[in-house]
Structure 1
Amino acid sequence: MSQKMKAVVCHGPQDYKLETISIPKLFPGDVLLKVKGCGICAGDCKCKAGAKMFWGDNPWVKPPVVPGHEFYGTVEDLTPEAQEKYQIKKGDRIIAEQIVPCWNCRYCKSGKYWMCEVHNIYGFQKDVADGGMAEYMRLSKNAIIHKIPESLTHEEAVFLEPMACAIHTVNRGDIQLNDVVVIAGAGPLGLGMVQVAKLKTPKKLIVIDAIPERLELAKKLGADITINPLEEDAEKIVKSLTEGYGCDVYIEATGAPVGVIQGLNMIRKLGRFVEFSVFGSETTVDWSIIGDRKELDIRGAHLSPYCYEIAIDLFERKLLTVEGIVTHSYSLDQWEEAFDIAATTDSIKVVITP
């Protein structure tokens, strides 16, 4: 096997290049993954564009780094320690969770590894966590690896990371049988959340988005009602369906400030507001609505702890689908075109297939 490989390399905002670099060297406990697919996340697009959360005063991204955290592949090589730990062998289909926990901080030691204080995530920190937009990648001894059954399609396997995030987000909403649930944003994550929320059988599931085609897909995937806020008064509609009170659960998946403000106005008193988004700009709101006026339960949702196995199981049982969600596929050589279309509303989920 050649010692070189193709990879997209991030050197900074708007400074991404396709390069030939060395195939990662393995250390004890490591696995070499032959990447079969890597999705482009909205966070990847915002990182490339220079969003503050990635490139602030103390940049979280440590270039040069290979981007990509929505990956899966097959075992190309592995150390004896990794074989014993993960019970995997060459050729097995696997996926690693997007975070590389340190396993030493208070969060990792208490089982809350997804909030690891060090917080290395594949695709953002050089050396430790180069990502999946490459022919090969190194999964370190700290990785959390899951086997992927052969019954899962390529599209399902490459969408496991977003779907696991969707499951965690919906779980954070603590949806009850009598709840009216609103999901704002019908992008890849939002469409995953629609399916998972439907499995919770709420009283009514409402999806809000400004793109008609995505609303149509949301309806097919389980939404009871869809609302285009550019054409209809979303708050008025939701209030009319809830005797004027507002929704019980609001899941914000737009990544736009307007989605936050809309949700705070739309949700009932004592409601549960779940935030899962990467924002390109700050949101300003009168916080009185959270405490003095509504006493809301504001919950964040980050990554996908303990949800990969659930996602795999739900795909195996055909309770979830990626049909209509994974819309585009490009080779590594076409990475620029892939990023360009991923940053538009002409795509939903774009995948790079090395």
Structure 2
Amino acid sequence: MEVERTSDIPRKMKAVVAYKPGDYRLEEVDVPAINEDEVLLRVGGCGICAGDVKGYHGAPSFWGGDGQPAWIIAPFIPGHEFYGQVVAIGDQAREKYGLNLGDWVVSEQIIPCGKCRFCLEGSYWMCEVHHIYGFQGKVADGAFAEYVKLPSTARNYRLPDGFPLEVAPYVEPLACAIHAVERADIQFYDVVVIAGMGALGLGMLQAAKLKNPQMVIVLDVRDQRLELARKLGADLALNPAKEDVVKKIKELTDGYGCDVYIQASGHPNGVIQGLQAIRKMGRYVEFSVYNEPTTVDWSIIGDRKELDLRGAHLSPKAYPSAIRFLNSGEIKADEIITNRLPLDNFMEGFKLVEKGEESIKVVLIP
């Protein structure tokens, strides 16, 4: 077995290396070596996820604390919303994925172990080991770097010829958005509310519209994001900071409330708002990472409304659809990707994402 590679791969590369909360450094590190069952990509671009920024600030769901175990393995190279070009590939990987040198590729964010209970039953996105690019050093280093290794159990996809590479960093967020919408089981008669018009919410909006429900209502406290949501198909865009959105939703639904509520704002207030806005026996989909616990009256879920509460995690089986929708133009990302910065300016990118006033999706270009 052999590894085929291009002749221009250097020994060293620039990469962002995370050591602890608040200590992320641009360094020169070794280009990853690969085996015959692995792939090496020259990174074309990598989006900054809100989770990356929360990790930078030490969120307990990543670093541990508040009763949660540590998940991060430091030092590590962040970045999981990436695409790149194959510059080295092993024989086994070529046979498994059908990839060749020069192909443009995306890889699902999770690298499943293939051995745990969840992997063996086909629920690979819930892998108990749960390595995700950009959070565990060595075993799952990410793509805030010039090169990234795709390990042997990675789930890789070739981008079709002519695919608009400028939107390729949006494949990962869109795939997550599609999974959340699938979890909502949207019907033609449904009134759907989506809270949070960041990169994920704007993808959920467009995916939900493809399900052709009665109405899609979107919520955000930033008017410029609501304006973009209207352009991308929202039937109604409301600002909770300026009006009583629960009252408005109930007025539009004869006092019952929405059939589906998808929470993608990442703010605890969005959780409480959703429980108030949704009808009895409605479907509530949770897709957010929080910096702090949320306290709610759980009797709303059971005793008062008998809600169907559904989590949505990652992007299982959704990458092919995300690639297809972006390639066809059925889902648009050109205005969602608002900023492209050189890798050296990663801290500027983090600040743009955290502030969220002048950006939606920020992409780092090595």
The reply to whether TM is greater than 0.5 is yes
Tell whether 2:184 aligns with 1:176.
no
Instruction: Give the Cα separation in 2 of the matches to 1:228 and 1:218.
Output: 12
One-letter identity of the residue aligned with 1:293: R
Instruction: Give the Cα separation in 2 of the matches to 1:223 and 1:276.
Output: 19
Q: Secondary structure, in 3 states, of the residue corresponding to 1:278?
A: coil
One-letter identity of the residue aligned with 2:171: L
Partner in structure 1 of residue 353 of structure 2: 342
Tell whether 2:163 aligns with 1:152.
yes
- Percent of counterpart pairs with the same letter? 55
Partner in structure 1 of residue 219 of structure 2: 208
Is there any run of 5+ residues in structure 1 with no aligned partner, and where?
none
* Aligned 8 A contact 2:164 2:327 in 1: no
* Aligned 8 A contact 1:74 1:94 in 2: yes
| 1:349 Cα deviation from its structure 2 partner | 0.2
One-letter identity of the residue aligned with 1:353: I
Instruction: Give the Cα separation in 2 of the matches to 1:150 and 1:182.
Output: 36
One-letter identity of the residue aligned with 2:363: V
* Aligned 8 A contact 2:75 2:137 in 1: yes
Instruction: Give the Cα separation in 2 of the matches to 1:181 and 1:279.
Output: 22
Partner in structure 1 of residue 204 of structure 2: 193
| 1:121 Cα deviation from its structure 2 partner | 0.2
Q: Secondary structure, in 3 states, of the residue corresponding to 1:214?
A: helix
Is there any run of 5+ residues in structure 2 with no aligned partner, and where?
1-8
| 1:336 Cα deviation from its structure 2 partner | 1.4
TM-score, L = length of structure 1: 0.99
Give deviations 1:19-63, integer Å, cap 9, x for gaps.
000000112301011100000000001000111111114311101
One-letter identity of the residue aligned with 1:351: V
| 1:113 Cα deviation from its structure 2 partner | 0.2
Tell whether 2:66 aligns with 1:54.
no
Instruction: Give the Cα separation in 1 of the matches to 2:95 and 2:227.
Output: 47
Q: Secondary structure, in 3 states, of the residue corresponding to 2:355?
A: coil
Instruction: Give the Cα separation in 2 of the matches to 1:218 and 1:323.
Output: 13
Tell whether 2:40 aligns with 1:32.
yes
| 1:314 Cα deviation from its structure 2 partner | 1.3
| 1:245 Cα deviation from its structure 2 partner | 0.3
Partner in structure 1 of residue 75 of structure 2: 64
Instruction: Give the Cα separation in 2 of the matches to 1:79 and 1:257.
Output: 46
| 1:287 Cα deviation from its structure 2 partner | 0.3
One-letter identity of the residue aligned with 1:200: K
TM-score, L = length of structure 2: 0.96
Partner in structure 1 of residue 293 of structure 2: 282
Instruction: Give the Cα separation in 2 of the matches to 1:85 and 1:235.
Output: 50
| 1:154 Cα deviation from its structure 2 partner | 2.2
* Aligned 8 A contact 1:100 1:142 in 2: yes
Tell whether 2:91 aligns with 1:83.
no
| 1:150 Cα deviation from its structure 2 partner | 2.9
| 1:317 Cα deviation from its structure 2 partner | 2.1
Partner in structure 1 of residue 365 of structure 2: 353
Tell whether 2:273 aligns with 1:273.
no
Instruction: Give the Cα separation in 2 of the matches to 1:250 and 1:280.
Output: 21
Give deviations 1:95-143, integer Å, cap 9, x for gaps.
1100000000111111110000000000001111000100001101101
One-letter identity of the residue aligned with 2:54: K
Q: Secondary structure, in 3 states, of the residue corresponding to 1:89?
A: coil
One-letter identity of the residue aligned with 1:276: F
Partner in structure 2 of residue 240 of structure 1: 251
Partner in structure 2 of residue 94 of structure 1: 105
Instruction: Give the Cα separation in 2 of the matches to 1:12 and 1:71.
Output: 23
**Which of 6, 10, 17 pairs up with 1:9?**
17
Partner in structure 2 of residue 295 of structure 1: 306
One-letter identity of the residue aligned with 2:227: E
Q: Secondary structure, in 3 states, of the residue corresponding to 2:248?
A: helix
Instruction: Give the Cα separation in 1 of the matches to 2:349 and 2:136.
Output: 22
**Which of 145, 152, 171 pairs up with 1:141?**
152
Tell whether 2:324 aligns with 1:313.
yes
Name the stretch that deviates more: 265-274 or 57-66: 57-66
Q: Secondary structure, in 3 states, of the residue corresponding to 1:260?
A: helix
Q: Secondary structure, in 3 states, of the residue corresponding to 2:17?
A: strand
Q: Secondary structure, in 3 states, of the residue corresponding to 2:230?
A: helix
Q: Secondary structure, in 3 states, of the residue corresponding to 1:66?
A: coil
| 1:242 Cα deviation from its structure 2 partner | 0.3
Name the stretch that deviates more: 26-35 or 265-274: 26-35
One-letter identity of the residue aligned with 1:9: V
Instruction: Give the Cα separation in 1 of the matches to 2:149 and 2:345.
Output: 23
* Aligned 8 A contact 2:167 2:334 in 1: no
Instruction: Give the Cα separation in 1 of the matches to 2:346 and 2:243.
Output: 37
Query: How large is the RMSD of aligned CA atoms in angstroms?
Result: 0.8
Name the stretch that deviates more: 339-348 or 139-148: 339-348
Name the stretch that deviates more: 251-260 or 57-66: 57-66
